[in-house]
């Protein structure tokens, strides 16, 4: 991430009084092969988003207990889900997505990564019709809520999550927050355009434009019941995390697995990870275990 330029944009965001209107995604379901391929490339172990997926995977692990059944809403190509499943080998994961092409890619990801504690389910996160009441110990959703068409759909999703979650279950939601300046949105989307497919850059910008505001996300999270805590990047809500309290301390096995995955990252990925971790540490969300 381009530190000095990013800091300027974030300060200008902080000072801005304007509010951009939300622009929903052009296609609410990502089913185009070119989009899926670009998204898949960005999230692979060697991809531009690998550090971000690992950060979320470590944070999710603190709300997942051994033996839990965990639902991942809009799991996409399963790059994120693979990292969480690897850190929690004794938990069982259900990846849900509405795109048949995305699910086909997810199946290939699981096979390539030899991850066996995940099943995939076709479905819409606003209608979890195939999941019984109180069937899940945890529910997670990373970088997907902005694909919902509007606020009523966001509220319906939260009510469905509350229905399928067991009392006292774990929750972890992460997504972009809506920024105030179009130039900031363009900066984040284009910051590393030379290292990412043009399709990825275009989709990234659409995602930032489609982000819900912090207030909208907070109001929706209130439908999940008490105990949810919100963290957001300082100066501007580039990213917002809303989660339940930790449900366990990471045991020796989970810590060892986290360190192993961290050790496989490139030096550049580890730098990006540490920068991102510092962002959220400043927002009150530290890492659940030491990685070095």
DSSP structure string for 97-162: ES-HHHHHHHHHHHHHHT--SEEEEE-BTTB-TTS-TT-EEEEEEES-GGGSSSHHHHHHHHHHHH
Q: Answer for the pair 31, 61: CB distance below 8 angstroms, yes or no.
A: no
Q: Which pLDDT value is given to residue 36?
A: 86
Domains of the chain in start order, with CATH, are 3-282 (3.40.50.150)
Chain segment 278-289, per-residue pLDDT in tens:
999 999 999 999
Q: In the prediction, which pLDDT does 1 show?
A: 54
Q: Would you write out the chain's pLDDT as a tens digit for each of its 292 residues?
A: 567 888 899 899 999 988 899 999 987 777 788 888 888 888 888 888 999 999 999 999 999 999 999 999 999 999 999 999 999 999 999 999 999 999 999 999 999 999 999 999 999 999 999 999 999 999 999 999 999 999 999 999 999 999 999 999 999 999 999 999 999 999 999 988 888 888 989 999 999 999 999 999 999 999 999 999 999 999 999 999 999 999 999 999 999 999 999 999 999 999 999 999 999 999 999 999 999 8
pTM to 2 decimal places: 0.95
Determine the pLDDT at residue 27: 79
Nearest to 146 by CA among 23, 19, 56: 23
- E-strand spans in 193-284? 229-232, 239-243
Strand order in the sheet with 239-243: 118-122, 92-97, 69-73, 136-142, 165-176, 239-243, 229-232
3-class SS of residue 235: coil
């Amino acid at each position: 991430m381009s530190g000095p330029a990013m800091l300027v944009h974030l300060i200008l965001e902080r000072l801005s009084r304007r509010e951009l209107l939300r622009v929903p995604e052009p296609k609410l379901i990502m089913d185009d092969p070119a989009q899926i391929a670009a998204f898949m490339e960005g999230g692979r172990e060697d991809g531009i988003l690998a550090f971000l997926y690992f950060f979320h995977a470590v944070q999710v692990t603190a709300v997942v207990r051994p033996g839990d059944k965990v639902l991942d809403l809009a799991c996409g190509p399963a790059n994120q889900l693979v990292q969480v499943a690897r850190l929690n080998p004794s938990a069982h994961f259900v990846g849900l997505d509405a795109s048949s092409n995305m699910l086909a890619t997810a199946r290939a990801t699981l096979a390539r990564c030899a991850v066996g504690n995940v099943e995939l389910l076709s479905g819409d996160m606003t209608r979890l019709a195939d999941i019984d009441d109180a069937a899940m110990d945890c529910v997670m959703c990373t970088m997907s809520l902005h694909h919902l068409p509007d606020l009523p759909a966001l509220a319906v999703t939260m009510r469905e999550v509350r229905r399928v979650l067991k009392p006292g279950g774990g929750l972890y939601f992460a997504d972009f927050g809506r920024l105030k300046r179009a130039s900031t949105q363009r900066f984040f989307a284009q910051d590393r355009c030379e290292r990412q497919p043009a399709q990825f850059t275009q989709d990234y910008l659409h995602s930032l434009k489609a982000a819900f505001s912090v207030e909208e996300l907070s109001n929706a999270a209130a439908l999940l019941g008490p105990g949810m805590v919100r963290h957001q990047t300082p100066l501007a809500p580039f990213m917002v995390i809303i989660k339940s309290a930790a449900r366990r301390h990471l045991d020796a096995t989970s810590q060892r697995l986290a360190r192993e995955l961290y050790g496989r990252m490139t030096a550049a990925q580890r730098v990006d990870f540490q920068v991102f971790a510092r962002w959220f540490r400043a927002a009150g969300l530290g890492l659940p275990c030491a990685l070095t």
